[in-house]
Amino acid sequence: HFSIKEELEPHTLVGSLNKHFAPPYQLLTEEYLWMNKSTGNFYITEKKMDREHLCSEETKDDECIILQSVIVGPSRELEQFSVIIEDINDNAPYFENSKICLDISEDVPAGTSLMLDDQARDRDSGPNEQLKYELKGSGGVFSLKVEEEGPLIKLIVQKALDRETQDLYQMQLVATDCGVQPLSVSVPIFVTVTDVNDNCPSFSPNSPLSATISGDSKKDTVVTQVVAADPDLGPNAAIVYSLSPKVSERAKKLLILSSHSGHIRLTQDLEIDSSEELVLKVLASGLHCPPAETQVTVSLLPKATQGLTIKIGFIAKHYNQTVVIPESQPPTPLAVLELEGDSSFKDSSLAIEGDVPFFLSPQSGKYLLSTSKPLDYEMKSEYHISVVVKGSSSERSVIAPPQREIRVMVEDVNDNAPHFSQTDYQLEVEENNEPAVILLQVSATDADSGLNGRVTYRLDKHTSAIFKVDSVTGQLSALVPLDREQKSVHKLTVFARDSGVPPLESQASVIIRVLDRNDNAPAFSTPHFIFFIPENAPPFAQVGLIEVEDPDEGENGKIELQIVQGNTSFVVDSIQRMLHTTTNLDREMTDRHELYLAVSDNGRPVALTSSARVTIFIEDINDNNPKVILPSSNYSCLVVSPGTPVGTNVTKVYAIDEDSGVNSEITYSVVAPKSVWQNTPFQVDSKSGNITLRQELLQENMGMHNLFIVVRDNGKPTPLYTTVWINLLVNKSTD
């Protein structure tokens, strides 16, 4: 059995069969492994082993084993061995859904739990598959509880909820695996708070407390409208209006209250000659609520004072007696108002009640109603202008002067660009991420309404095609795995655009920093380094620079060099990446050295390695003297007969030099005074060292001839030499 981690680089050594079987070796299939037929070592092929691909999801908790068949030995026996593929943390967790949506009633007590069915998954195994969960952005309103059995993930309510204060909570559920270098993923959780009937109706401050109506008004004329509100939703907010039983019979006879709208109308035509006041106590009831009360005083004016009316002529766009004006317009005329009546009201005038952005300007006995400033739809979309009569009659007192209400609707225009919740987003993403995984979600809102407030997202047109933003949700994703070695920082611009005419848009910047993973093995600049160094180099001399790079960063790119095979006369410095000698070198002993270097990084979970060959040639220096081989002693004596012919090779001096090149080239010469050397019948060949008879021996040549021969090399800068004596006796007898 052999074990190996998944995703190792091609040509990584897995193991060897040489301790188990004799060579040769032949692997039957070489899809993921290849084998050296001589050594039995087997390595990763160019096709990396992915544990999650090789073994199914159902068996990921068991060992992932691939079975290999091999023919071994001279007899070619068929054997099998298994390779266990160990998991590394190369897969981030993932959620199947892009978001989690939950509903919860606002009246649940603190401690209530909500089950989260959408749990994260991880394709790895062991600790790399085990997940931890964390809740972010809940503001302390919710917490997370994870029960080991299952596991079960629960969202716990920590604080009391109030839909009328906040009806939607958004937070992030983060799942992180337990790998050495943990990977994580997040999914947004949207919690919608549903309504319960925890509020009762109350009358609006704008609900009228009094109203005036002409004494000759017709049946079904609207006298006024009471307004109550309930902040709950749907049926919980339903309001029923009614009159108190204490209301007078006279009021009940003349007036009727709509239980749904709050309108107070006449039940009959009026024929009143004197002033009269009717007091109504109005109740607003809600489901399971005590009724709210308000009092409305209705003043009936006698017919004698009914000649006074307010006539309205609209100028601006209107429908159903309602003026419609676009927002942001400069002060604009809306209508012309005229006060009509008998001469007794000549001192009367029109005025606007309340603080509203409108004013009346008298013009030739009439009044021009205009806006006093540009209106803002986002501040207020509807106004009710109450125009009343001011002044007194010369003949009688007006109990309650007539009034007219003009409704003004502000029409939204696209005057607000979308607004990002933050204009700068920064995040860190580990390289080799899963494609299409959501990196983050940008968010922009638009204060306008309808299409003017509908926001869509897009990326700048110059943005790399590897990124995509969802036009509706603003979720940003990378379509392909990011590679830090290609680009470590990505700067994106996201635009939020509304659907108004013309459309408005704003932008936010997104900076994505790609974090390093150990996905690059250190690489030598060449698979074979060749260096030259003189043999007289001292110990710790520099031999050469080992060029090696790892494009990863941090510990993943920190490398360590070592000599894995070769002579101990050398050492490599991992910091300076320099090869040094450790001892004196002698070319005559070894003229070259072969080393094998290995480099590994400090990456996790698996360190990656590479190897290279180094050849060091030792350059020769002239550090060896010539060595005389013949004669064997430094003092030699030979007898030469007088009858020896001229040119005879009498003897030979032979020397060698252990140096190389010109340092080993040898010349021979005789050292003697010129007068002595010229009278000697012998000569030495400078190249071969042969000593020959150069002239016929005469009687005067009888006796001993002493030759002092220098053997010299041609080395630089200083030649080295050795000497030898050759003694030649010319004698008739050899005794």
Structural contact between residues 629 and 654, judged by C-beta atoms closer than 8 angstroms: yes
CA distances from 478 to 91, 441, 507, 553 (A): 16, 12, 19, 22
Residue that the structure tokens 């003349």 belong to: 254
* Interval 222-234 mean pLDDT: 89
pLDDT at 395: 41
Q: Tens of pLDDT along 452-484?
A: 889 999 999 888 889 999 999 999 999 999 988
Label residue 392 by pLDDT band (50, 70, 90).
low
pLDDT at 627: 92
Structural contact between residues 51 and 85, judged by C-beta atoms closer than 8 angstroms: yes
Q: Tens of pLDDT along 570-628?
A: 999 988 999 999 999 988 889 899 999 999 998 877 888 999 999 999 988 888 899 98
**DSSP letters spanning 578-593:** EEEE-S---TTT-SEE
pLDDT at 498: 93
Which of 57-71, 78-92, 702-716 bottoms out in mean pLDDT, i.e. has the lowest?
Answer: 57-71
**DSSP letters spanning 280-337:** EEEEEE-TT-PPEEEEEEEEEEPGGGTT-EEEEEE-S-EETTEEEEETTPPS-EEEEE
In angstroms, rounded to a whole number, what is the distance separating the alpha carbons of residues 486 and 508? 24
> Partners of 361 in the beta sheet?
368
Superfamily of domain 309-411: Cadherins (2.60.40.60)
Evaluate if residue 124 carries a pLDDT over 90. Answer: no
* Interval 279-283 mean pLDDT: 93
Q: Tens of pLDDT along 21-64?
A: 999 999 888 888 999 988 999 999 888 888 888 887 666 667 88
Please, where in the chain does CATH 2.60.40.60 lie? 2-86, 94-194, 202-301, 309-411, 419-515, 523-619, 627-730
pLDDT at 478: 92
Q: Which of 100, 91, 85 is nearest to 51 (CA)?
A: 85
Specify the DSSP element, H or E, that contains 704: strand 703-713
Label residue 516 by pLDDT band (50, 70, 90).
confident
Evaluate if residue 710 carries a pLDDT over 70. Answer: yes
Q: What is the CATH code for 523-619?
A: 2.60.40.60
In angstroms, rounded to a whole number, what is the distance separating the alpha carbons of residues 708 and 706? 7
In angstroms, rounded to a whole number, what is the distance separating the alpha carbons of residues 468 and 454? 20
* Interval 387-411 mean pLDDT: 69
CATH class of this structure's domain 419-515: mainly beta
pLDDT at 573: 93
CA distances from 721 to 285, 625, 670, 674, 709 (A): 130, 6, 13, 21, 10
* Interval 100-121 mean pLDDT: 90
> Partners of 147 in the beta sheet?
152
| CATH label, 627-730, candidates 2.40.50.140, 2.60.40.420, 2.60.40.60, 3.30.70.20 | 2.60.40.60
The CB-side HSE value for 92 (13 A sphere, CA atoms) comes to 22
Q: Tens of pLDDT along 363-390?
A: 888 999 999 999 998 888 899 999 988 8
| CATH label, 202-301, candidates 2.60.40.60, 3.40.50.2000, 3.40.190.10, 3.30.420.40 | 2.60.40.60
The CB-side HSE value for 732 (13 A sphere, CA atoms) comes to 3
500 backbone dihedrals φ, ψ, rounded to 5°: -75, 175
Which two tokens mark 94?
């993932």
| CATH label, 94-194, candidates 3.40.630.10, 2.60.40.60, 1.10.645.10, 3.30.1330.50 | 2.60.40.60
Q: Which of 40, 51, 45, 128 is nearest to 84 (CA)?
A: 51
Provide the H-helix boundaries in 198-291: 249-254
* Interval 83-98 mean pLDDT: 88
Superfamily of domain 2-86: Cadherins (2.60.40.60)
Q: Are strands 292-301 and 240-243 parallel, antiparallel or unpaired?
A: unpaired
